[in-house]
Amino acid sequence: MATSVFRRQLLLCCRHSRTNTRQLTRQVNIKKTLTPSAALGATVTGVLAWKIWQARQETAEILPVVTAKSEGEDGNKEPRIPHTYREVRYRQFASVEYKGITYMTPQDFLESVTEEMPRPRIGRAKLKDKEVEYLLKNTPTRSKGSNKLFRKLHNQGLISYTEYLFLLCVLTKPQSGFRIAFNMFDTDGNQIVDKKEFLVLESFFTLPPAERKFVPRPQQKLQALLDVKESVDPVQDTTLLIHFFGPKGKQALKYEDFHRFMENLQSEVIELEFVEFSKGMATITEEDFAHILLRYTMFDKTDVQACITRVKERIPAVQGITFEEFKQFCQFLNSLDDFTIAMKMYTFADQAVSKEQFQRAVYVCTGNTLSPHLVNTVFQIFDADGDGHLSHKEFISIMKDRLHRGSRKWKKYYLASHLMHTQDNWSSFKSCVKNEMRSY
Tell me the C-alpha to C-alpha distance, in Å, between residue 214 and each of 17, 184, 224, 242, 244: 41, 7, 16, 24, 21
Residue-level pLDDT at 414: 44
**Could you give the residue ranges of the DSSP H alpha helices within 138-254?**
149-153, 161-171, 178-185, 195-202, 219-232, 239-245
CA distance 62 to 40: 33
Residue-level pLDDT at 431: 57
pLDDT at residue 377 tops 90: yes
pLDDT tens-digit map of 45-81: 555 445 444 444 443 333 333 333 333 444 444 444 4
pLDDT at residue 238 tops 70: yes
Tell me the C-alpha to C-alpha distance, in Å, between residue 147 and each of 104, 135, 157, 404: 19, 20, 16, 20
Q: What is the mean pLDDT of residues 194-202?
A: 80
Q: What is the mean pLDDT of residues 195-207?
A: 70
Residue-level pLDDT at 341: 85
pTM value is: 0.69
Q: Set out the domains of the chain in order of their start, with CATH numbers.
A: 2-62 (no CATH), 69-264 (no CATH), 281-403 (1.10.238)
Cα dihedral: 263, 269, 272, 276 (round 10): -140
Name which of 374, 384, 295 is nearest 331 in CA terms: 374
Beta bridge partners of 28: none
Residue-level pLDDT at 435: 55
pLDDT tens-digit map of 349-363: 567 888 998 999 899
Residue-level pLDDT at 58: 40
Tell me the C-alpha to C-alpha distance, in Å, between residue 122 and each of 13, 64, 118, 127: 37, 28, 12, 15
Residue-level pLDDT at 418: 45
Instruction: Tell me if 101 sits within 8 A of 87, measured CB to CB.
Output: no
pLDDT at residue 3 tops 60: no
CA distance 25 to 40: 15
Cα dihedral: 126, 130, 133, 134 (round 10): -100
Residue 299 or residue 425, greater confidence: 299
Residue-level pLDDT at 269: 94
Q: At what angle do helices 286-294 and 372-382 cross, to 10 degrees?
A: 60
pLDDT at residue 125 tops 90: yes
Q: What is the mean pLDDT of residues 327-344?
A: 88
Please state whether beta strands 283-284 and 253-254 pair in parallel, antiparallel, or not at all (unpaired).
unpaired
Name which of 143, 333, 137 is nearest 244 in CA terms: 143
180 pLDDT band, cuts 50/70/90, is: confident
State CA 295 to chain mean position distance: 16
pLDDT at residue 24 tops 60: no
CA distance 117 to 129: 29
User: How many other β-carbons are positioned within 10 Å of the β-carbon of residue 242?
Assistant: 22
